[in-house]
Amino acid sequence: MAGLPRRIIKETQRLLQEPVPGIQAMPDESNARYFHVIVAGPAESPYEGGTFKLELFLPEEYPMSAPKVRFMTKIYHPNIDKLGRICLDILKGKEVASNLLSIHKKVHLEVANDVAEQWKVNESQAIQTAKAWTKLYASLDRE
């Protein structure tokens, strides 16, 4: 971790010593600004039982600019686009652990895209689709 800002070193150490419940995050061996993240689908949500892989990258400007986060596991969510990018600016200025917790608890439905529109028009169908995608793409038994 030589050459990294002290804040990133401290946050990484804290994250490894005090993991966020429901989340595993490990810095990459070759680039300590890049994290491999696994998020358990929150209980009592359409994502319950799912295991979602994400990548998190801390840019040079961190913490003044938000980390780059992308879901690698396909997910049906109104705030996550087809490429897995989070569509709300909830990540700016927070520690890595707080960002991961925000992602884990994310339930906002304001983004204007086709998934959000489905959530507005027919919430029960959107929840069924989210559950189906979780089972199809994020279940441990599929691997």
Nearest to 80 by CA among 90, 88, 89, 91: 88
Nearest to 64 by CA among 35, 99, 94, 101: 94
What is the set of active-site residues?
87
Nearest to 58 by CA among 93, 13, 20: 93
